[in-house]
Amino acid sequence: MSKSVISEGKTTQEAIEKGLKEIKLPRELCEIKILEENKKSFFDILAPKIVRVEIKEIEARKPEEVEIETTDEELNIAKKDVEEFLNEFLNRISPEAKITVEIKDKCLYISIHGENIGNLIGYRGETLYSIENILKAIANKKSENRVVVRLDIEDYKQKRVETLEEVAKKKASIVERTGKMITLEPMKAYERKIIHSVLQDNPNVETRSIGQEPKRRIVITKK
């Protein structure tokens, strides 16, 4: 259960600093809400100004269990529609590209390989993720249940997964050794999920996601 405190001060900053000291957590691991900020009027100018804030710990992420109820029929229809779209789309860009669409673990796994298709990946996979979103829309158009779609181009995602897994383990090792919190660079939800997954069974550290998109990031702390 997350901790929370309510603190007061003459200024917002003072109230926050008092609260952080009481809750014994860095600002990055807390949600801060201003509850009350009394403003002086002409008639109570001598009255002290009081600011009240609530400081609440951001809960560490817990493993989530997701049950996918997509039927085989829905998956087969989605597979057919996705293949038709990709064949037409890539025929205009890279006719030699090889497309593989497989159904595995109730998901559609799509792999594309070929020459001169690096532009379909984009900077940090931006274009790849955009194409994946289009494919998700196509796959789910005729399905009552959610069809999960995973697209990879030239093994970009697989290489990224391996990199993130290595980063997670190295950073966790540093946190275990030093006891100091580490904040990672902003990542997409899919990438943050990889970090959380790698470290969820580590008995010595825990992970939290902080901030707002597109700058949402992960913080690793010692338990």
Over the stretch 122-134, which tens digit does the pLDDT of each residue have? 988 899 999 999 9
Q: How far apart are CA 73 and CA 144, in angstroms?
A: 11
Specify the range with the lowest mean pLDDT, choosing from 2-6, 75-79, 146-150, 206-210: 2-6
- Contact (Cβ atoms closer than 8 angstroms) between residue 52 and residue 187: no
Whether the model clears a pTM of 0.75, i.e. scores above it, the answer is no
- Tell me the pLDDT band of 116, cut-offs 50, 70 and 90: confident
In the predicted structure, residue 46 carries a pLDDT above the cut 60: no
| 107-113 and 148-153 strand pairing | parallel
Residues 87, 50 share a domain:
no
Specify the range with the lowest mean pLDDT, choosing from 43-47, 163-167, 198-202: 43-47
Average pLDDT estimate for 202-220: 91
Residues 145, 111 share a domain:
yes
Average pLDDT estimate for 40-58: 69
In-domain check, residue 64: no
Mean pLDDT of the chain: 87
In the predicted structure, residue 80 carries a pLDDT above the cut 60: yes
Provide the domain limits for residue 103.
Answer: 72-154
> Considering 154, 171, 186, which residue would you say is the last residue of a domain?
154
Task: Quickly tell me which residue has 């904040």 as its tokens.
Answer: 183
In the predicted structure, residue 39 carries a pLDDT above the cut 60: no
Report pLDDT digits (tens) over 83-108: 999 999 999 888 889 999 999 988 99
Percent of the chain whose pLDDT exceeds 90: 53
In-domain check, residue 62: no
- Tell me the pLDDT band of 61, cut-offs 50, 70 and 90: low
Residues 175, 142 share a domain:
no
Q: How far apart are CA 7 and CA 33, in angstroms?
A: 11
Average pLDDT estimate for 149-175: 95
> Considering 119, 154, 189, which residue would you say is the last residue of a domain?
154
Number of domains in the chain: 3
Dihedral sign of CA atoms 136, 142, 148, 150 in order:
negative
Residues 147, 95 share a domain:
yes
Percent of the chain whose pLDDT exceeds 70: 90
Residues 119, 82 share a domain:
yes
Q: How far apart are CA 67 and CA 89, in angstroms?
A: 32
In the predicted structure, residue 44 carries a pLDDT above the cut 70: no
- Contact (Cβ atoms closer than 8 angstroms) between residue 168 and residue 197: no
Residues 164, 99 share a domain:
no
